[in-house]
Structure 1
Amino acid sequence: MRCSCLPSSPALEEITVPTPAFLDLRGRRFGLLDFGGDGVPLIALHGTFGRASTFSATASYLAPEFRTIALDQRGHGLSDHGGDLGSDAFVDDAVALLEHLDQGPALLLGHSMGGVVAYRLAARRPDLVRALVIEDVGSVTDASELEHPVFDVTEWPRSFPDRNALADFLVGQGVPALGYFMDSAHGSGGRWRLRFDPEDMMAVQHGNAGDFRADWAASAHPALLLRGGNSPLLSRDRAEEMVRARPGTRLRELAGCGHWVHLDDPRGHAEQVRVFLREVLDTPL
């Protein structure tokens, strides 16, 4: 399925990233991007190696109907690094964010690891959630389901002489989505770095691998499961099994997309999100 029914959406070159805000949650400092506007809040959670700005196109395409608020999750972006990087810690952070925002049951969008955080949060704190959009992640994320559940970055250098050297290194490492990783690139002191520590990313990957089928099936909120048609991480069979296991879930597959659906087809991704959330909001609780 490919869609392009957002005629008023901005061109990608017009998309801007807001100035980051910072807040303290559970004794840690977090970076946050609030894309603003008067729309219905949509809380967005990125995946491993990502940061809040990965949702910039999504936010622009969904505005003004939705106001996207995206968190730099722990160990990523401008948020504090180190410490506990297991799945429960990420869920607890998201709970703290929703309680801090205090805007009622939330619309949650989570990509990859962020999707696991979202549906585990819904299972643990159903009172905080109105609906879920889960992008290209399964209910089992360990070696029993995935051939390569961990992308080994143990030996990655911490800094590079310039931006091109950093990009060339990532290409040489076979990074599957260069732009996604380069979104975390920044220069300071004459060197270029990524806004994550490789050791942290190994801990994040190991700490968020597991069998989460019970969590997936535990909540009853409306859910949209988005799958990239060429995704190497969520098979069609697994996605269909997830729909059968959880009433109230609909599956949409975007042809030609890989794991990063929101980057591979930002307009199609945004339209699927918008249509689903509009139906949710138009349905009385």
Structure 2
Amino acid sequence: MDAQVKAPGVASAGGVRIAYESAGTGAPALVFIHGVLEDRTYFASQVAHFSGRRQVVTLDLRDHGESGGVAEVAIEDFVADVIAVAEEADLQGAVLCGHSMSGAVALKVAAERPDLVRGVVLLDGTVLFPEPVRQAALEKLVPALGADHWLEALRGYFRGTILSPGDPPDLVRRVMAAVEQAHPQFVQSFFNSLMASDYADDVRSARCPLLYIHAKAPADLQRLLELRPDAMVGQVIGSGHYLMLSAADQVNAMLERFLDLIGPARRPADLRVSGS
């Protein structure tokens, strides 16, 4: 079935314009939330795969893509962006799929607004980092991003930590082009906010089915399963951090299975995990 493509929409989160797009019909809807210095086009493969039989929503978080810009940002601002789009698109019981830092965003939305969320998928989510990794980021990366040579530090972080040797050249160019367009206040405030927590409380508080699809992020998956024994964990093969691009078929197949397992959308009062 061909996807039913709808006109792009606009939501408002605290006065900030948030651009989004919806394609297809069918519940539960899938909401794809990009990571930092990305935009909604990073999920083109997922939109093409799923929108023929269910609603698929993609959005540009503030200061990304076609959305409004801000000087500084915190993870909670992105949470507000997603909630604003979900309300504007009249979504209930959606499956939130967050890449990288937006794994934490999706968890926070699920905890704050369980009526909007049927399940959460973390696509190489930056949650539950080992404490030495998180502290190193706070003590070295964040201060470096606040210094004169912040762009050099940001380039080094993406080339040395985020990107992988096996990433296709066009992906590397795409990611690094976005790095070159970053703003120093935004970048420093973002990483300071991101690394301020390991998101263990959010993992516990998101009372909905949970899938973590791992690629490269140093998430402590054993701790994830201790916090949420009901969580499902998958691993892509042959992909770096941008798994929705470089391992789209694997990601889509795991998403399909997750949707099969959690079943159709339920009433808000029914959104509970087993044993809760």
- Matched to 1:205, the amino acid is F
CA distance, structure 2, for counterparts of residue 58 and residue 52 of structure 1:
11
- Residue 26 of structure 2 corresponds to 39
**TM-score of the superposed pair, with normalisation by structure 1:** 0.74
Aligned with residue 200 of structure 1, among 186, 193, 196:
186
Question: In the superposition, relative to structure 1, how do residues 256 and 108 fare at CA in structure 2: closer, same or farther (>3 Å)?
Answer: same
Query: Cα distance 1:49–1:283, how it changes in 2: closer, same or farther (>3 A)?
Result: closer
- Larger deviation: 172-181 or 58-67? 172-181
**After the TM superposition, which residues 1-285 of structure 1 pair with which residues of structure 2 at under 5 Å, given as runs?**
20-34=8-22, 36-40=23-27, 41-141=29-129, 144-146=132-134, 148=137, 150=141, 155-156=150-151, 176=163, 179=171, 182=174, 196-209=182-195, 210-228=197-215, 231=216, 233-235=217-219, 238-282=220-264, 285=270
Task: Tell me how many residue pairs correspond in the alignment.
Answer: 248
Once residues 141 and 81 of structure 1 are traced to their aligned partners in structure 2, the CA distance between those partners, rounded to angstroms, is: 29
Q: Contact between 2:130 and 2:218, CA under 8 Å: does it hold in 1?
A: no
Query: Structure 1's 142 and 18: CA in aligned 2 closer, same or farther, altered over 3 A?
Result: farther
Structure 1 moving runs of 4+ over 4 Å: 17-20, 146-155, 172-175, 183-186, 193-196, 282-285
Q: 1:86 to 1:39 in 2, by over 3 A?
A: same
Give % identity: 23
**Aligned counterparts of 1:37 and 1:283: Cα–Cα separation in 2:** 16
Question: Shift in Å at residue 234 of structure 1?
Answer: 2.5
Q: Using structure 2 for the length normalisation, give the TM-score.
A: 0.76
Residue 87 of structure 1 deviates from its aligned partner by 1.4
Of 138-147 and 21-30, more deviation after overlay is shown by: 138-147
Give the gaps of 5 or more residues in structure 1.
Answer: 1-7, 158-168, 187-192
More strand by share: 1
Tell me whether 116-125 or 138-147 shows the greater mean CA deviation.
138-147
Q: Which moved more, 1:95-104 or 1:68-77?
A: 95-104
Q: Distance in 1 between matches of 2:108 and 2:9?
A: 26
In structure 1, the residue matched to 2:273 is none
Change in CA separation of 1:196 and 1:31 when aligned onto 2, cut-off 3 Å: farther
Question: Using the alignment, how far apart are the partners of 1:242 and 1:225 within structure 2?
Answer: 9
2:133 & 2:176 partners in 1: Cα distance? Answer: 28
